[in-house]
Amino acid sequence: MPLDYHTLDLLRRQHPAWRLLAAEHAPLVASFLHRAFVAPNVRVMAQAALVEALNDTLYAIHELAFEKATPKFPKSALEYLNDWAANEKAWLRKFYPPGSDEPHFDLTPATERALAWLVNLSDRAFVGTESRLLMLFELLKQISEGSDTNPETRLAELHKRKDDIDAEIALVLSGNMPLLDDTAVKDRFQQFDRLAKELLGDFREVEQNFRTLDRRVRERIALWDGRHQADAAQGRGALLESILGERDAISDSDQGKSFQAFWDFLMSQSRQEELTALLERVLALPPVAAMSPDKRLRRVHYDWLQAGEHAQRTVALLSQQLRRFLDDQAWLENRRIMDLLRGIEAKALSLRDAPPQGLVHSVNALGPRVELPMERPLYSVPVKTILSNVKLETGDADVDADALFSQVRVDKAALASHIRQSLQTRAQISLGELLQARPLQQGLGELVAYLQLASAPAQSVIDEDTLETVRWTAADGVLRSAKLQRVIFVRT
């Protein structure tokens, strides 16, 4: 984007990030939103919780300035939140989640960009440049090698890389193992810290792009009317084709493909375990520990998972909207057909007593309908059921009635305790691994109880692309199995 005068003047008047930086209460807005959303990586917050947090902030500010007669922020916390979520500011997004009647708030991508810019304003004691140069050089190599169609060039590069690895192996075997010094470790870790936090901010922009598509689809559905088209079915089909084409365009776009590749990479359990081990080992290094890194970095890959799941749910809501569109349009068309039929009946009744003179309208039948008298079925006497009149007598058989009162009750608290104990030594565990350590004792009912515990979004992640087979022995001794999507419990 060119930074000419007209572009910058338009951004100054219309862009929410610029309006936030130039606002009168920018220190309050930026500090509170950063502490409430960005620092703890909270994606969505209910109105009651956010109002309570802002009330505490305003109270602390007023306590520090108690000597002034008039408070610096006279409005209530809810008024400030509604003001920040208004269209003329657009620093917050206010919405109602499905199944909830309480408003929720989330940061807009423009606000997160402004907060990231403010964070970068602070002076840094150490500015590393080597890691960024190496990363740029490595990216150029990947682009060049990945787009080269000449197999000889690719083989030559692979042989060169193999020779370098062999030379490094020989150095290690000889006892001359090259290590990074403290400066190089700090440089690379600082680059990782910055990119990891920027990635969390990018997810809000991905969600915003999907919401923009959803809003555009809703507007087109609201303005579409099949009755004004020459062929209603063809018009609806054209609209659906256009909507689904836009949905595919988002999925097949560069951003959609990149997001899907990121999600597939992160949903791999081996990759998550590798990330966890790498983070634990790097954060334990003395140069990194001396930098006092953010404690959130230890679980940053779980924050990525949570943020990516929000984007996936946005896509699911778009699919539900398309389904509702089809159902609503079918109901409206059926209602319109019934209105037309009732209108015809009303006109026919009005013409019954005073029919018009002459031929008004005629319908050409496809052919005569002939019904012969003998084709009609004759009357047949209905068959009556005869009930035997038998006197009931009290039996004396000894029947065990315990089976009528035996019920199977699954202790969900014990299952939840088993999950917590398993997560004390691990950051995450799948349902299959849980059942290997403690097999199902009560069959399918116990498996359903595990799935109910996994329905809480903060405690588990569903890998829809991987199927897992669960086996157990039923009460009758038969080995049974069920195939379901992999359920991964995570430590909260």
Rounded CA-CA distance 316/308 in Å is 13
Do 116 and 238 belong together in one domain? no
Asked if residue 200 belongs to a domain, the reply is: yes
Closest C-alpha among 209, 312, 292 to residue 253: 209
Asked if residue 156 belongs to a domain, the reply is: no
The secondary element (H helix, E strand) that includes residue 301 is helix 300-350
Closest C-alpha among 465, 470, 417, 407 to residue 440: 470
Asked if residue 298 belongs to a domain, the reply is: yes
Do 97 and 210 belong together in one domain? no
Asked if residue 138 belongs to a domain, the reply is: no
Q: Are strands 428-430 and 104-107 parallel, antiparallel or unpaired?
A: unpaired
Domain that holds residue 69: 5-121
For residue 228, what pLDDT is reported? 45
Asked if residue 401 belongs to a domain, the reply is: no
Do 99 and 207 belong together in one domain? no
**Which sign does the torsion angle of CA 230, 234, 235, 238 carry?**
negative
Rounded CA-CA distance 302/323 in Å is 32
Rounded CA-CA distance 315/25 in Å is 35
Q: In what order do the strands lie in the sheet with 479-490?
A: 428-430, 479-490, 460-473
The secondary element (H helix, E strand) that includes residue 37 is none
φ/ψ of 165, rounded to 5, equals -65, -40
For residue 230, what pLDDT is reported? 43
Do 341 and 418 belong together in one domain? no
Rounded CA-CA distance 140/138 in Å is 5
φ/ψ of 410, rounded to 5, equals -95, 125
Q: Which of 101, 121, 141 is the last residue of a domain?
A: 121
C-beta separation of 288 from 186 below 8 A: yes
Joined together, the tokens standing for residue 113 give 């960009």
Do 94 and 208 belong together in one domain? no
Do 109 and 201 belong together in one domain? no
Q: What is the three-class DSSP state of 104?
A: strand
For residue 174, what pLDDT is reported? 84
Q: Are strands 104-107 and 45-46 parallel, antiparallel or unpaired?
A: antiparallel
Do 112 and 220 belong together in one domain? no
Residue 106: left if φ>0, alpha if ψ -120 to 50, beta else—which one?
A: beta
Do 232 and 336 belong together in one domain? yes
Rounded CA-CA distance 198/264 in Å is 20
For residue 231, what pLDDT is reported? 47
Q: Which of 347, 375, 402 is the last residue of a domain?
A: 347
Rounded CA-CA distance 322/328 in Å is 10
Rounded CA-CA distance 95/104 in Å is 6
Total domains present in the chain: 3
Q: Which of 324, 347, 370 is the last residue of a domain?
A: 347
Joined together, the tokens standing for residue 422 give 């398993």
For residue 475, what pLDDT is reported? 72
For residue 227, what pLDDT is reported? 47
Asked if residue 131 belongs to a domain, the reply is: no
Rounded CA-CA distance 74/267 in Å is 47
For residue 82, what pLDDT is reported? 92
Q: What is the three-class DSSP state of 33?
A: helix
Do 417 and 330 belong together in one domain? no
Radius of gyration of the chain (CA): 34
Strand partners, 92: 107
Contacts 24+ apart (CB under 8 A), 271-278: 272/301, 272/427, 272/428, 275/301, 276/301, 276/427
Neighbours of 217 (CB within 10 A): 20
Do 318 and 205 belong together in one domain? yes
Q: What is the pLDDT along the chain (492 residues), one digit of tens a residue?
A: 667 888 888 888 888 888 898 888 889 999 999 899 888 878 788 999 999 999 998 888 887 765 555 567 888 899 999 999 998 888 998 988 877 889 999 888 888 888 888 887 776 655 666 666 777 767 777 777 777 788 888 888 888 889 888 888 888 888 887 777 888 887 888 778 777 777 777 777 777 777 777 667 667 666 665 544 444 445 556 655 665 555 555 566 565 677 677 777 777 777 778 888 888 888 888 888 887 777 777 777 777 777 777 767 766 666 676 667 667 766 777 788 888 888 888 887 887 777 777 656 666 666 667 778 777 888 888 888 777 777 777 766 676 666 666 666 788 888 888 888 888 888 888 888 888 888 888 888 888 888 888 887 667 888 888 888 888 887 777 888 888 888 888 877
Asked if residue 320 belongs to a domain, the reply is: yes
Rounded CA-CA distance 78/53 in Å is 11
Do 286 and 199 belong together in one domain? yes
Asked if residue 469 belongs to a domain, the reply is: yes
Q: Are strands 460-473 and 45-46 parallel, antiparallel or unpaired?
A: unpaired
C-beta separation of 211 from 114 below 8 A: no
Do 117 and 198 belong together in one domain? no
The CATH number of residue 83's host domain is 1.10.10
